[in-house]
Amino acid sequence: MGTDYNNFSLVTHIEAILYLKGKPTTIAEIGELTQKSTEAIESALIQLMSDYAHRGEGALEIVETPAGYSLQLRSCCQDLMENLIPADLNTATLRTLAAVALANPILQSDLITVRGAGAYQHVQELLELGFISKRRQEEGRSFWLEITDKFHQYFEIDQLPT
């Protein structure tokens, strides 16, 4: 049996949207997803922000940024976050990731031609971190490499120029 999303309160619906989006979301975007008025959304956001503010020692908070509203980790948890998220990538690996992102998708063989044999190790590291995905080419021996949703969330990039 499916879930009846109409029975959720608007506050709960917005909380789910902010969690699932994983990036700042505007009132207009929330409006498109909820089909509710700006006034109703603003009121629900105020309630949601208040609920999170009064949770005491909770790890999460709702914040308003220039890009929209976001569900994020409180600053007091920054040390924990730094221990759990991937370490900064070295320059060579970042350049390989940039090449994949700009071509998206790109054949691994073409990437190696552009970046050199060291890119094999970069690809492995980027796969392990979840920034790219790899799928076998239908014809041929190489693999297609593509950026993932995690790439977009981590670097806060909605869409790359074409």
- The ranges of the chain annotated as CATH 1.10.10.10 are 5-80, 86-155
What's the confidence (pLDDT) of residue 21? 79
Would you place residue 26 in the very low, low, confident or very high pLDDT band (cuts 50, 70, 90)?
A: very high
pLDDT at 161 over 70: no
5-80 architecture in CATH?
A: Orthogonal Bundle (1.10)
Please list, in sequence order, all residues whose beta carbon lies within 8 angstroms of the beta carbon of residue 101, skipping any fewer than 6 positions away: 147, 151, 160
What's the confidence (pLDDT) of residue 3? 43
pTM of the entire predicted model: 0.51
86-155 architecture in CATH?
A: Orthogonal Bundle (1.10)
